[in-house]
């Protein structure tokens, strides 16, 4: 017995050595070396292009404002301070916009996830009356829309213009996420589990609450993260629907307004509400550029913070999405 | 036995009328409680009933001057509320009618009460109308009587009759019968709220296409007097300046989508070359950081563009510091190479992300194929070209067909944030044009026409792409 095991071990070692030699052999050709250098360089450059702007933005918000104004902060932060971030608290409408965006992100995501989970579960039930028809009725809406103007008129008709609920209610039913959940339930949750529960007399709602919801956590996390990012980034609905309710503007919308005003502070003030920016900010001889950078940074930071958690999930999401519902 | 058959038939008008009544609640055009011109045109019966503040928002002056009594508006509000609740009760009854005898009976009771309450409350609206009509200042208060009142009244009376009829036809259930419903209907009723939401937010907007056939300005009503048939459609072809605009917009749209399609191989190349990197830490690093831009909004992308390319941004200050330029340049305000710039921003944002699906695809390719290729003496590039690329082609085809189907929809966020006075003619894509014309300039009918044509063409393209895929690959893409 032991001789056989040692023979297998020897064989494995030989194989490993062969692999090593082969890979060393392959690396040795000069063409491969050039290829590798070029390949590594191109990817390194593209990666730098992708992250440098974030870094540049950040160092300009924490460096000495006078140096920033002169354009002297390019690669290394100097005179580090965090006053700009503290000053932002004095920009009243920004604070409100932050609250609105946070509220819609949390509520909108929560409702969307619960609805997607529930509907995704319901459409796996073959005995539902007219299931395939209603499922198609839902899914087909991904491929057409009436256009932005009829959509706007419809929202106005429903009384959802200048109302916070316009951010939440239309997003509750998300067909793509429903497909994801449905696919997941069908492929990852064994049907016997449900069967035995229903034999024990559990109702559909009980099964949903005690079996489906806990077991589909991975996919729900995926859609929750995508939903939250979507809510955080959304800008169009605020722009079109909240025309006469500046208090309900989202953070992105505020940022858009600030970016579009010329860089002097008086213009920045008149762009926001009258309470715009308090006098102390003006007195600090702060230029508009830094304010804009800081607001942008504040808007980006939450996304960068959830990003590490997202990464685990989004590949899974893409792969399940590639399987048709 | 016969009685049950009649009841089963009677349930059809019962359900249809309940649904019709429920839909009416949402339409401002069918609001019977709009008895004065001061009531906002876009208030539906539901709003009238549930939001008193909204109802009287324009009545401040009328109350102060005594043209309208507050009690009148209260009456109107409460009557509408009663009608709404009554109709909701009817809808509940209609839902319960899917169950057993016990459910049916309870539903019938509820809907009978609801229908009777609603029908009686119509009297409240009637009397509110006469109180408002008796105002001392008719020119300001504009009393109006909705002719739809009669239709609504007929519907409600019908509902009362049918409800009472089924109530007697079905009859009292056995004492020990429990509330029960077939599983298929129970599941359907659980699904129903989401069907309603989908209908309201995805299908109802289609009803707005009718604006394309009217001469409509914000706040007008649609009637035969401003019906213009295909005038706006004709204007697209006949009116010189509109035609010029449309041609320019189409040029931009197709150019930018075309550039996007022409570069759609790049994510695949990105993935293939990335997988050639053997150092897994570096690979992971690249993948992580090139994906980040996908998760920030276009507004933030513009903020990034601003900090790099504006007059006092990174490029300008670098150039000044190096003494190459004497003053900063604002790249964002120039109108040259707009299409290319938009393409590059799109790639910056999306390349790393779009590559993920191909990266996943590569890991799914059978390793034996590579080994066999090595044995056959294939080099690195030959393996990439003859093994990896064919393995990824199915995914590529699907995405390509989807891109072709979406050729008219480039979205508007990117172009809206980057648009300014100097690049506006090159950047105006279809979605942005519709937004500018409809929402900013208020040309609702014309922009509806453009949006409508866009939707129809897009759906047709998708259908064609799907058919092509079915014929060529035997697989549908949607």
Residues A49-79 pLDDT 10s: 999 999 999 998 888 887 887 778 888 888 8
* B267 touching chain A per CB within 8 A: no
User: Considering B181, B216, B233, which residue would you say is the last residue of a domain?
Assistant: B181
For residue B299 the two structure tokens come to: 């507004």
Dist. CA A240–CA A147, nearest whole Å: 13
Q: Which of B47, B304, B328 sits opposite A57 (nearest CB)?
A: B304
Q: Could you tell me if A35 and A142 lie in one domain?
A: no
Query: What pTM was estimated for this model as a whole?
Result: 0.84
The alpha carbon of residue A147 is apart from the nearest alpha carbon of chain B, in Å, by 5
Q: Which of A56, A125, A137 sits opposite B187 (nearest CB)?
A: A125
Residue A14: pLDDT band (50, 70, 90) is low
Would you mind telling me the total number of residues written for chain A in this entry?
A: 325
Dist. CA B178–CA A298, nearest whole Å: 58
Q: Is residue A286 part of a domain?
A: yes
* B200 touching chain A per CB within 8 A: yes
* B316 touching chain A per CB within 8 A: yes
Question: Do A158 and B195 lie within an 8 Å CB cutoff?
Answer: no
For residue B49 the two structure tokens come to: 């009933």
Q: Could you tell me if B385 and B457 lie in one domain?
A: yes
* B440 touching chain A per CB within 8 A: no
Q: Could you tell me if B465 and B386 lie in one domain?
A: yes
Q: Could you tell me if A66 and A110 lie in one domain?
A: no
The alpha carbon of residue B208 is apart from the nearest alpha carbon of chain A, in Å, by 5
Residue A310 pLDDT greater than 90, yes or no? no
Q: Which of B26, B380, B412 sits opposite A158 (nearest CB)?
A: B26
What pLDDT was estimated at residue B330? 82
Q: Could you tell me if A150 and A205 lie in one domain?
A: yes
Pick the more confident residue, A108 or B47. Answer: A108
Question: Do B451 and A60 lie within an 8 Å CB cutoff?
Answer: no
Q: Could you tell me if B9 and B150 lie in one domain?
A: yes
Q: Is residue B197 part of a domain?
A: no
- The nearest alpha carbon in chain A to B478 belongs to A324
What residues make up the domain containing B282?
224-473
Question: Do A149 and B190 lie within an 8 Å CB cutoff?
Answer: no
Measured in degrees and rounded to the nearest 5, phi and psi for residue B143 equal -65, 140
Q: Could you tell me if B237 and B158 lie in one domain?
A: no
- The nearest alpha carbon in chain B to A123 belongs to B191
Q: Is residue A325 part of a domain?
A: no
Question: Do B205 and A151 lie within an 8 Å CB cutoff?
Answer: yes
Residue A274: pLDDT band (50, 70, 90) is very low
Q: Which of A149, A205, A240 sits opposite B448 (nearest CB)?
A: A149
Question: Do A322 and B357 lie within an 8 Å CB cutoff?
Answer: yes
Q: Is residue B442 part of a domain?
A: yes
Handedness of CA B47, B48, B54, B57 (dihedral sign): positive
Name A274's Cβ contacts closer than 8 Å, sequence gap at least 6.
none
What pLDDT was estimated at residue A285? 41
Q: Could you tell me if B230 and B171 lie in one domain?
A: no
Q: Could you tell me if B112 and B31 lie in one domain?
A: yes
For residue A1 the two structure tokens come to: 């017995």
Question: Do A71 and B308 lie within an 8 Å CB cutoff?
Answer: no
| Domains contained in chain B, number | 2
Residue B384: is it exposed, middle or buried by C-beta count within 10 angstroms (0-12/13-18/19+)?
Answer: middle
Q: Could you tell me if A131 and A230 lie in one domain?
A: yes
Q: Could you tell me if A190 and A235 lie in one domain?
A: yes
Measured in degrees and rounded to the nearest 5, phi and psi for residue B264 equal -70, -10
Q: Which residues of B touch A295 (CB under 8 A)?
A: 303
Q: Which residues of A touch B194 (CB under 8 A)?
A: 115, 118-119, 138, 172-173
- A37-55: pLDDT as tens digits: 999 999 999 999 999 999 9
Q: What's the whole-number mean pLDDT along residues A98-121?
A: 95
Q: Which residues of B touch A253 (CB under 8 A)?
A: 299
Q: Could you tell me if B230 and B149 lie in one domain?
A: no
Intra-chain end-to-end CA distance of chain B, in Å: 48
Q: Could you tell me if A92 and A160 lie in one domain?
A: yes
> Longest Cα pair distance anywhere in chain A, in angstroms?
87
SS3 of residue A192 by DSSP: helix
Residue A324 pLDDT greater than 50, yes or no? no
Question: Do A149 and B207 lie within an 8 Å CB cutoff?
Answer: no
Q: Is residue A223 part of a domain?
A: yes
User: Considering A29, A63, A81, which residue would you say is the last residue of a domain?
Assistant: A81
Q: Is residue A148 part of a domain?
A: yes
Question: Do A137 and B209 lie within an 8 Å CB cutoff?
Answer: no
CATH number at residue A112: 1.10.3720.10
Range with lowest mean pLDDT among A87-101, A280-294, B162-176, B213-227? A280-294
Q: Could you tell me if A102 and A213 lie in one domain?
A: yes
* B168 touching chain A per CB within 8 A: no
Q: Which residues of A touch B43 (CB under 8 A)?
A: 159
Q: Could you tell me if A65 and A138 lie in one domain?
A: no
Q: Could you tell me if B245 and B367 lie in one domain?
A: yes
- A214-261: pLDDT as tens digits: 999 888 988 998 899 999 999 999 999 998 888 899 999 988 988 887
Residue A190: is it exposed, middle or buried by C-beta count within 10 angstroms (0-12/13-18/19+)?
Answer: exposed
Dist. CA B146–CA B66, nearest whole Å: 24
| Domains contained in chain A, number | 2
User: Considering A81, A106, A122, which residue would you say is the last residue of a domain?
Assistant: A81
Q: What is the mean pLDDT of chain A?
A: 82
Q: Could you tell me if B279 and B361 lie in one domain?
A: yes
Q: Which of B297, B314, B360 sits opposite A252 (nearest CB)?
A: B297
Q: Could you tell me if B252 and B392 lie in one domain?
A: yes
Interface contacts (A, B; CB < 8 Å) = 255
Q: Please report the beta strands in B414-462, taking only residues with DSSP state E, as ranges in sequence order.
A: none
Q: Which of A49, A311, A322 sits opposite B348 (nearest CB)?
A: A49
Q: Could you tell me if A19 and A163 lie in one domain?
A: no
Question: Do B412 and A236 lie within an 8 Å CB cutoff?
Answer: yes
Q: Could you tell me if B121 and B240 lie in one domain?
A: no
* CA A257 to each of CA A84, B3, B147: distance values in angstroms, whole numbers, following the listed order: 19, 68, 46
Q: Could you tell me if A309 and A258 lie in one domain?
A: yes
Q: Which residues of A touch B291 (CB under 8 A)?
A: 311, 314
Q: Could you tell me if B147 and B253 lie in one domain?
A: no
Q: Which residues of A touch B435 (CB under 8 A)?
A: 148, 240
Q: Is residue A304 part of a domain?
A: yes
Low-confidence ranges of chain B (pLDDT < 50): none
Question: Do B209 and A146 lie within an 8 Å CB cutoff?
Answer: yes
What residues make up the domain containing A241?
88-320
- B212-257: pLDDT as tens digits: 888 877 766 666 677 777 888 888 888 888 889 899 999 999 999 9
Question: Do A74 and B54 lie within an 8 Å CB cutoff?
Answer: no
Residue A18 pLDDT greater than 80, yes or no? no
Q: Which of B222, B191, B212 is nearest to B27 (CA)?
A: B222
Q: Is residue A247 part of a domain?
A: yes
Question: Do B295 and A303 lie within an 8 Å CB cutoff?
Answer: yes
Q: Which residues of B touch A123 (CB under 8 A)?
A: 191
Handedness of CA B300, B302, B306, B308 (dihedral sign): positive
Residue B38: is it exposed, middle or buried by C-beta count within 10 angstroms (0-12/13-18/19+)?
Answer: buried
Question: Do A235 and B298 lie within an 8 Å CB cutoff?
Answer: yes
User: Considering A57, A81, A105, which residue would you say is the last residue of a domain?
Assistant: A81
- B148-160: pLDDT as tens digits: 899 999 999 999 9
Q: Which residues of B touch A43 (CB under 8 A)?
A: 273-274, 277, 282, 286
The alpha carbon of residue A52 is apart from the nearest alpha carbon of chain B, in Å, by 10
Question: Do B195 and A138 lie within an 8 Å CB cutoff?
Answer: yes
Question: Percent of chain A, pLDDT > 90?
Answer: 37
Q: Is residue B196 part of a domain?
A: no
User: Considering B181, B205, B233, which residue would you say is the last residue of a domain?
Assistant: B181
Q: Could you tell me if A64 and A196 lie in one domain?
A: no
Question: Percent of chain A, pLDDT > 70?
Answer: 80
Question: Do B451 and A42 lie within an 8 Å CB cutoff?
Answer: no
The alpha carbon of residue A173 is apart from the nearest alpha carbon of chain B, in Å, by 7
Q: Which residues of B touch A74 (CB under 8 A)?
A: 314, 317-318, 321
Question: Do A173 and B43 lie within an 8 Å CB cutoff?
Answer: no
Q: Could you tell me if A17 and A155 lie in one domain?
A: no
């Amino acid at each position: 017995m032991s001789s056989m095991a040692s023979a297998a071990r020897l064989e494995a070692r030989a194989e490993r050595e062969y692999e090593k030699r082969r890979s060393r052999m392959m690396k040795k050709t000069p063409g491969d070396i050039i290829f590798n250098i070029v390949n590594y360089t191109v990817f390194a450059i593209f990666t730098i292009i992708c992250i440098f702007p974030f870094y540049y933005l950040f160092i300009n918000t924490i460096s000495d404002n006078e140096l920033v104004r002169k354009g002297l902060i390019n690669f290394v932060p100097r005179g580090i301070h965090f006053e700009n971030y503290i000053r932002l608290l004095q920009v009243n409408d920004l604070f409100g916009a932050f609250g609105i965006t946070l509220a819609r992100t949390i509520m909108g995501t929560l409702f969307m996830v619960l609805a997607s989970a529930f509907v995704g579960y319901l459409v796996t039930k073959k005995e539902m009356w007219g299931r395939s028809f209603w499922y198609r009725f839902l899914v087909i809406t991904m491929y057409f829309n009436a256009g932005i103007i009829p959509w706007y008129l419809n929202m106005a008709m429903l009384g959802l213009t200048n109302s916070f609920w316009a951010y939440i209610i239309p997003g509750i039913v998300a067909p793509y996420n429903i497909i994801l959940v449905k696919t997941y339930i069908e492929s990852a949750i064994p049907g016997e589990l449900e069967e035995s529960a229903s034999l024990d007399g559990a109702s559909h709602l009980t099964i949903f609450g005690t079996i489906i919801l806990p077991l589909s956590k991975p996919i729900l996390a995926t859609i929750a993260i995508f939903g939250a990012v979507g809510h955080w980034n959304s800008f169009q609905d605020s722009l079109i629907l909240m025309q006469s309710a500046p208090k309900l503007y989202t953070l992105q919308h505020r940022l858009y307004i600030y970016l579009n005003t010329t860089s002097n502070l008086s213009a920045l003030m008149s762009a926001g509400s009258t309470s715009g920016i308090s006098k102390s900010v003006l007195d600090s001889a702060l230029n508009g550029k830094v304010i804009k950078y800081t607001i942008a940074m504040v808007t980006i930071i939450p996304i960068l913070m959830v990003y590490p958690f997202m990464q685990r999930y989004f590949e899974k999401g893409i792969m399940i999405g590639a399987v048709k519902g | 036995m016969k009685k049950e058959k009649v009841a089963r038939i009677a349930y059809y008008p019962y359900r249809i009328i309940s649904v019709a009544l429920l839909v009416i609640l949402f339409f401002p055009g069918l609001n019977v409680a709009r008895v004065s011109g001061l009531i906002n045109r876009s208030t539906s019966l539901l709003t009238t009933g549930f939001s008193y503040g909204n109802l009287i928002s324009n009545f401040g002056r009328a109350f102060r001057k005594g043209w309208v009594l507050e009690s009148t508006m209260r009456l109107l509000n409460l009557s509408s509320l009663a009608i709404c609740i009554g109709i909701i009760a009817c809808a509940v009854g209609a839902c319960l009618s899917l169950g057993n005898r016990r459910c049916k009976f309870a539903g019938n009771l509820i809907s009978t009460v609801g229908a009777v309450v609603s029908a009686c409350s119509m009297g409240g609206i009637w009397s509110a109308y006469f109180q408002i009509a008796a105002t001392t200042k008719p020119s300001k208060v504009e009393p109006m009587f909705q002719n739809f009142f009669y239709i609504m009244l007929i519907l409600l009376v019908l509902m009362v009759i049918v409800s009472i009829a089924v109530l007697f036809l079905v009859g009292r259930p056995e004492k020990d019968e429990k509330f029960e419903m077939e599983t298929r209907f129970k599941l359907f009723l659980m699904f129903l709220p989401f069907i309603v939401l989908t209908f309201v937010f995805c299908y109802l907007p289609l009803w707005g296409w009718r604006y394309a056939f009217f001469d409509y300005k914000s706040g007008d009503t649609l009637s035969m007097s401003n019906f213009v048939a295909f005038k706006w459609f004709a204007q697209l072809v006949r009116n010189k300046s509109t035609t010029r605009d449309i041609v320019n917009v189409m040029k931009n749209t197709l150019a930018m989508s075309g550039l996007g399609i022409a570069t759609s191989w790049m994510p695949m190349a990105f993935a293939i070359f990335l997988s050639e990197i053997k150092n897994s830490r570096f690979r992971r690093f690249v993948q992580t950081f090139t994906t980040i831009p996908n998760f920030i909004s276009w507004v933030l992308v513009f903020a990034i563009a601003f900090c790099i390319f504006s007059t006092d941004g990174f490029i300008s200050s670098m150039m000044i510091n190096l003494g190459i330029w004497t003053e900063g340049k604002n790249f964002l305000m120039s109108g040259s190479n707009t299409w290319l710039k938009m393409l590059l921003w799109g790639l910056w944002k999306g390349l790393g992300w779009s590559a993920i699906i191909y990266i996943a695809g590569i890991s799914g390719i059978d390793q034996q194929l590579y080994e066999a290729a090595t044995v056959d003496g294939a080099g690195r590039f030959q393996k990439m070209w003859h093994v990896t690329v064919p393995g990824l082609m199915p995914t590529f085809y699907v995405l390509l067909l989807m891109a072709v189907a979406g050729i008219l929809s480039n979205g508007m966020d990117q172009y809206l944030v980057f648009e300014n006075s100097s690049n506006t003619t090159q950047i105006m894509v279809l979605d942005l044009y519709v937004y500018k014309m409809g929402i900013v300039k208020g040309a609702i009918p014309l922009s509806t026409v453009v949006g409508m044509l866009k939707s129809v063409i897009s759906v047709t393209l998708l259908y064609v792409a799907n058919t092509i895929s079915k014929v060529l690959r035997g697989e549908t893409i949607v």
